Amino acid sequence: MQGPGAPNPAIFDSDGFLIDPAVWSESLADRIAQTDGLGVLNELQLGLLLALRREYARHGTVTALSHVCHLTGQRSDCMQHLFPNPRAVWRIAGLPNPGEEAKSYL
């Protein structure tokens, strides 16, 4: 995530995850998504990101993305239809680096 218009790299770790989830905003999520080639996030994508952030705040750990889909009334595979991969969802949601083991599941 380098170059003009890219989110400030100083707020990301070496793997591209947000260091402090408290600085996340919908506009930052949009900038991350655009930098990653996804374009502007739609309402459904933003809703899923917000639900994922709520689950992370509640449990403090990696949450099954299918569960987040269920919580928002979507099919269990909704994330894979709206984002390129689980790691991208986690990054765009502004959640911190989940660690090496968890990243293998993302």
3-class DSSP string for 45-83: HHHHHHHHHHHHHHHCCCCCHHHHHHHCCCCCCHHHHHC
- Residues 102, 86 contacting (CB under 8 angstroms): no
Q: Where along the chain do its domains lie?
A: 26-97
Q: What is the maximum span of the chain, computed from C-alpha positions, in angstroms? A: 37
What pTM was estimated for this model as a whole?
0.82
Q: What is the pLDDT of residues 6-59, one digit of tens each?
A: 555 578 998 889 999 899 999 999 999 999 999 999 999 999 999 999 999 998
State the DSSP code for 21: G
